[in-house]
A and B are shown apart, each in its own frame.
Chain A
Amino acid sequence: MSATPQSSPETRPEALAAGTGMPNEFLTFTLGEEEYGVDILKVQEIRGYDTVTKVPNAPSFIKGVINLRGTIVPVVDLRLKFALGRADYNQFTVMIILNVARRVVGIVVDGVSDVMQLTPEQIRPAPEFGSNVNTKFITGIGALEQRMLILMDIEKLISSEDMALMDSASVH
């Protein structure tokens, strides 16, 4: 079970014609009560939760490693990392496979919603507080009709030292 989220390309020319800035596309997912968005270009695919092999002496939010078509990929449960929601694992549990910092990493979230387009005008700066995720990993807040999307700098998050996903030498 895997799917690559596709945007609807026909909406692009309209946005350009309107003279606004290039819209960016975000994959949205939920963590507890909040809705988050990550740059779609960083998303490789979405998969169901696989059997994970535990890695010794790793922090609890690192679930372990999986075999992704022959590549060993670590899986992080963001719900555990940010102490959000109940970290259940069932047939509906979803993993987003990201391609960041020249690495492949899986993140477990509560659910994937959809792909959203946001023009720069629709993105407001990140507030100093109000999110469970440390603001240094937030690039802004996307507003679209009734929805509030917390835009995550996923690359910065994954590369950060407190994720313990990389050897300290390669942490940016």
Chain B
Amino acid sequence: MSNIDLSRFHRTFFDESLEGLDAMESALLRLDIGQADAETINLIFRSAHSIKGGAGTFGFTAVAGFTHLLETLLERVRSGQRQVSQADVDLLLRSVDVTRAMLRAADGGDACDLDNVARVSAELEQALDMKPAVVAPVAARPVAAGWSIRFIPKPDIFASGNDPLRILRELDRLGDAGITCIADDLPELGAIDPERCYLSWNIALRGDCDEAAVREVFAWVEDECNLEILPLDQPVATAASVEGMEAAPPAPDAGGRVVKKPQLNVVEGGKAAAESSIRVGTEKIDALINLVGELVITQAMLQQTAESLDPVLNEKLLQGLSQLDRNTRMLQEAVMSTRMLPVEAVFSRFPRMVRDLAAKLGKQIRLETVGESTELDKGVIERIADPLTHLVRNSLDHGLETTEQRIAAGKNPTGTITLRAAHQGGHIVIQVSDDGRGLNREKILAKAAERDVPVPPNPADADVWQLIFAPGFSTAEAVTDVSGRGVGMDVVKKNVQALSGQIEITTEAGKGTTVTIRLPLTLAILDGMSVRVGDDVFIVPLNCVVESLQPQPGQVKALTSNARVVKVRNEYVPLAPLHQHFNIRADAQHAETSILVLVESEGRKVAVQVDELVGQQQVVIKSLEANYRRVHGISGATILGDGRVALILDVAELVRGYARAAAA
């Protein structure tokens, strides 16, 4: 009848099913055993249910079979027949894994472990207390010559959207139907309620269909009619009574139905309607982002020109322009958002991993995540996942003590690993912290000596911690199931550096270790404060800004001939006159007549001296290095609404320079 190739929907099915599994997994992980809330259970159920439905429809029988078990178990939970236990959650999580593996295999990935599928299936069946289904033998019935049917619809049958006419027509398709209409109950015309059905029918259906097929026709109206189906003994003369059908009252024309039989018209290659997710090369998105940037600029130019027009005479034009303004901005946001993902995309893999590994290691570990919504370029997200995984494994395996050790040390028996993401000074900072035992200076030095890793003379603590990243330091380590796998911290460092990032370690014996990864924003969005110095506009990353102030006479003090500080409350903050730093013109030469923007980085503050605060805006960070070079004190550039380029201050670098100068 149709040649619709279902494979066109497979991509979407795989994508949405894998997403569904992710949602299911995180819902399972946050499920409160004992008082599971209905919405979470529903969400989990719906995911399994959708996958099962899709898998069945699209022909992935094995997936459909497996998820059917999963769904059945979840249905019992949902309906309150079963209380979820920790064991159930474990089983469900493993089922998620199995489903995922099956889907990946079906999607042309690696074959999945069939033994594991069988094992988990068996566990599900056991949990369901299922016995092999016994198929009741169907008694062979003699096929009748046909059926005599008495069909008496209830008066309100129309209210279910069913139309007796449709049923009669379907019966006629099963064989040769002789239909007699019985209109005895039809009231007088004036008393007829067109929403009610007053007619009934006798049908003599001749043909070799079985009773089930006849019942199937009435399946939807079982409760809306009285039905009698008996084998037809004698042949019935059909011709005479077909008028009955014509005599049936017209169904209320509520459906606006069209009698014309729809034509099946499958157009080959008509894929457009089918695909809602497609893969797009990032270079295409970048090209779009740039084009939209151009559009924004053109739009801003038009807006500027229009400002000189008479608002009364040009009302329509101005309205159109303001609409264009809104649309352009929305378009820009939409296009930009395609490149950005919240860091949650990578953080979300860790709850599961920590849970599983903690169980394996016999440790009690809690995972905290902070700043999951921090947006990060998709490319960076993809490439940061592996280094982060390694760091989290390390914390689990080596960083955190066993429960006994923690109790002995007087610490909370449950160790905590914290994943934190934030924008900081034109960078994205991702931290992996644990409250474990901290790094041991002596052990690291001993190991470095053993592995022939070069050690600087009289190393400071920070230098010792850096040894961990030396090639060869950790690769030869006993390959434990958890953090081994032959990947050392040197690889982590290399990966981070490949993203032009930096990696640092801070640690305190007995208190824990924090690894900080600082990544530049190649194409990230930043909340910025635009400031003006003379003719130039700079962007100060808003998250570095503590406050801005107009200094009072006497608030600024000279330390040396070119180092000054400003007293803010009880703190002396080094003054950073931007015009001097960048060798540019400023309106105000003296701090007393200008504006100070207090910025903070790495725990230190400086007061940046500017002429004016222009405003706050989100800016896209553009690389200055792609076509030019690195500029001291500048972390990147951005394009302002009017199309001009503005430079973004590298606050961390400024703070380091001025704080050091002030300390000297």
Interface residues in chain A, defined as those with a beta carbon under 8 Å from any beta carbon in chain B: 51, 53-58, 64-67, 69-74, 103-105, 164-167
Q: Which residue in B581, B623, B647 is a CB contact (below 8 Å) of A55?
A: B647
From B536, which residue of chain A is reached at the shortest CB distance? A54
B229 to chain A, nearest CB (A): 73
Knowing A72-B637, A72-B645 touch, does A56 contact B582 (C-beta < 8 A)? yes
The residue among B583, B623, B647 with the most chain A CB atoms within 10 A of its own CB is: B647
Knowing A65-B645, A67-B293, A165-B628 touch, does A56 contact B623 (C-beta < 8 A)? no
Knowing A53-B644, A54-B536, A167-B625 touch, does A69 contact B293 (C-beta < 8 A)? yes
Whether, in the assembled complex, B624 has its beta carbon less than 8 Å from a beta carbon of chain A, the answer is yes
Knowing A53-B647, A103-B626 touch, does A70 contact B293 (C-beta < 8 A)? yes
One digit per residue, 1 when the CB lies within 8 angstroms of any chain A CB and 0 when it does not, for chain B 284-299 equals 0000011101100100
From A74, which residue of chain B is reached at the shortest CB distance? B628
- Judge whether A55 and B289 touch: CB under 8 Å: no
- Judge whether A51 and B644 touch: CB under 8 Å: yes
A–B Cβ pairs within 8 angstroms, 8 of them: A54-B536, A65-B628, A69-B293, A70-B639, A72-B628, A74-B628, A164-B629, A165-B629
From A52, which residue of chain B is reached at the shortest CB distance? B645
* Bound CA–CA A58/B290 (angstroms): 26
B343 to chain A, nearest CB (A): 24
One digit per residue, 1 when the CB lies within 8 angstroms of any chain A CB and 0 when it does not, for chain B 256-294 equals 000000000000000000000000000000000111011
Beyond A53-B536, A65-B645, A70-B290, 10 extra complex contacts between A and B, CB < 8 Å:
A55-B628, A55-B634, A56-B633, A57-B632, A58-B631, A64-B645, A70-B289, A70-B639, A74-B627, A167-B629
Whether, in the assembled complex, B622 has its beta carbon less than 8 Å from a beta carbon of chain A, the answer is yes
From A171, which residue of chain B is reached at the shortest CB distance? B629
Inter-chain CB contacts under 8 Å: number = 81
Contacts of B511 in A (CB 8 A): none
- Judge whether B622 and A70 touch: CB under 8 Å: yes
Whether, in the assembled complex, B584 has its beta carbon less than 8 Å from a beta carbon of chain A, the answer is yes
Q: Which residue in B535, B633, B637 is a CB contact (below 8 Å) of A65?
A: B637
For the complex of A and B, the 9 pairs showing the least CB-CB separation, nearest first, are A70-B290, A56-B582, A53-B645, A70-B293, A74-B628, A167-B629, A103-B627, A72-B637, A67-B639
Whether, in the assembled complex, B643 has its beta carbon less than 8 Å from a beta carbon of chain A, the answer is yes
Contacts of B632 in A (CB 8 A): 56-57
Whether, in the assembled complex, B646 has its beta carbon less than 8 Å from a beta carbon of chain A, the answer is yes
* Bound CA–CA A71/B621 (angstroms): 11
Contacts of B631 in A (CB 8 A): 55-58
Contacts of A69 in B (CB 8 A): 290-291, 293-294
A148 to chain B, nearest CB (A): 32
- Judge whether A72 and B644 touch: CB under 8 Å: no
Contacts of B583 in A (CB 8 A): 56-57
* Bound CA–CA A22/B646 (angstroms): 45
A142 to chain B, nearest CB (A): 28
Whether, in the assembled complex, B8 has its beta carbon less than 8 Å from a beta carbon of chain A, the answer is no
* Bound CA–CA A56/B648 (angstroms): 12
Per the CB 8 Å criterion, the residue count for chain B at the interface is 32
* Bound CA–CA A68/B523 (angstroms): 16
* Bound CA–CA A124/B633 (angstroms): 46
Q: Which residue in B622, B633, B647 is a CB contact (below 8 Å) of A71?
A: B622
* Residues 495-552 of B contacting A (Cβ, < 8 Å): 535-536
- Judge whether B290 and A65 touch: CB under 8 Å: no
From A105, which residue of chain B is reached at the shortest CB distance? B627
- Judge whether A66 and B645 touch: CB under 8 Å: yes
B338 to chain A, nearest CB (A): 15
- Judge whether B581 and A56 touch: CB under 8 Å: yes
* Bound CA–CA A70/B293 (angstroms): 6
- Judge whether B290 and A71 touch: CB under 8 Å: yes
One digit per residue, 1 when the CB lies within 8 angstroms of any chain A CB and 0 when it does not, for chain B 65-92 equals 0000000000000000000000000000
From B646, which residue of chain A is reached at the shortest CB distance? A53
Contacts of A54 in B (CB 8 A): 535-536, 584
From A106, which residue of chain B is reached at the shortest CB distance? B627
Knowing A51-B644, A53-B646, A56-B582 touch, does A70 contact B630 (C-beta < 8 A)? no
- Judge whether B628 and A67 touch: CB under 8 Å: no
One digit per residue, 1 when the CB lies within 8 angstroms of any chain A CB and 0 when it does not, for chain B 633-657 equals 1100101000111110000000000
From B538, which residue of chain A is reached at the shortest CB distance? A56
From A62, which residue of chain B is reached at the shortest CB distance? B628
- Judge whether B294 and A70 touch: CB under 8 Å: yes
- Judge whether A56 and B584 touch: CB under 8 Å: yes
* Bound CA–CA A67/B642 (angstroms): 10
B570 to chain A, nearest CB (A): 33
Contacts of A103 in B (CB 8 A): 626-627
Knowing A56-B581, A57-B582, A57-B631 touch, does A72 contact B626 (C-beta < 8 A)? yes
Contacts of A73 in B (CB 8 A): 627-628
Contacts of A70 in B (CB 8 A): 289-291, 293-294, 622, 639
Q: Which residue in B289, B627, B633, B646 is a CB contact (below 8 Å) of A104?
A: B627
The residue among B626, B630, B632 with the most chain A CB atoms within 10 A of its own CB is: B626
A47 to chain B, nearest CB (A): 13
A70 to chain B, nearest CB (A): 3
* Bound CA–CA A111/B639 (angstroms): 28
Q: Which residue in B584, B625, B645 is a CB contact (below 8 Å) of A67?
A: B645
A159 to chain B, nearest CB (A): 12
- Judge whether A65 and B291 touch: CB under 8 Å: no
* Bound CA–CA A133/B262 (angstroms): 78
From B632, which residue of chain A is reached at the shortest CB distance? A57
* Bound CA–CA A103/B626 (angstroms): 7
* Bound CA–CA A70/B646 (angstroms): 12
* Bound CA–CA A167/B625 (angstroms): 8
Contacts of B290 in A (CB 8 A): 69-71
One digit per residue, 1 when the CB lies within 8 angstroms of any chain A CB and 0 when it does not, for chain B 559-582 equals 000000000000000000000011
* Bound CA–CA A69/B626 (angstroms): 14
From B645, which residue of chain A is reached at the shortest CB distance? A53
From B624, which residue of chain A is reached at the shortest CB distance? A72
From B585, which residue of chain A is reached at the shortest CB distance? A54
Q: Which residue in B629, B639, B645 is a CB contact (below 8 Å) of A166?
A: B629
Contacts of A53 in B (CB 8 A): 536, 637, 644-647
* Bound CA–CA A104/B622 (angstroms): 14
From A51, which residue of chain B is reached at the shortest CB distance? B644
Contacts of B626 in A (CB 8 A): 71-72, 103
The residue among B293, B536, B623, B629 with the most chain A CB atoms within 10 A of its own CB is: B629
Knowing A53-B647, A55-B628, A56-B582 touch, does A72 contact B623 (C-beta < 8 A)? yes
Contacts of A65 in B (CB 8 A): 624, 628, 637, 645
* Bound CA–CA A65/B630 (angstroms): 13
Q: Which residue in A64, A72, A164 is a CB contact (below 8 Å) of B622?
A: A72
A58 to chain B, nearest CB (A): 8
From B582, which residue of chain A is reached at the shortest CB distance? A56
A91 to chain B, nearest CB (A): 16
A121 to chain B, nearest CB (A): 36
From B286, which residue of chain A is reached at the shortest CB distance? A70
- Judge whether B584 and A72 touch: CB under 8 Å: no
The residue among B289, B535, B634, B644 with the most chain A CB atoms within 10 A of its own CB is: B644
* Residues 141-179 of B contacting A (Cβ, < 8 Å): none
The residue among A55, A57, A67, A105 with the most chain B CB atoms within 10 A of its own CB is: A67
* Bound CA–CA A53/B628 (angstroms): 13
* Bound CA–CA A119/B399 (angstroms): 70
Contacts of A58 in B (CB 8 A): 631
* Bound CA–CA A71/B643 (angstroms): 11
* Residues 457-489 of B contacting A (Cβ, < 8 Å): none
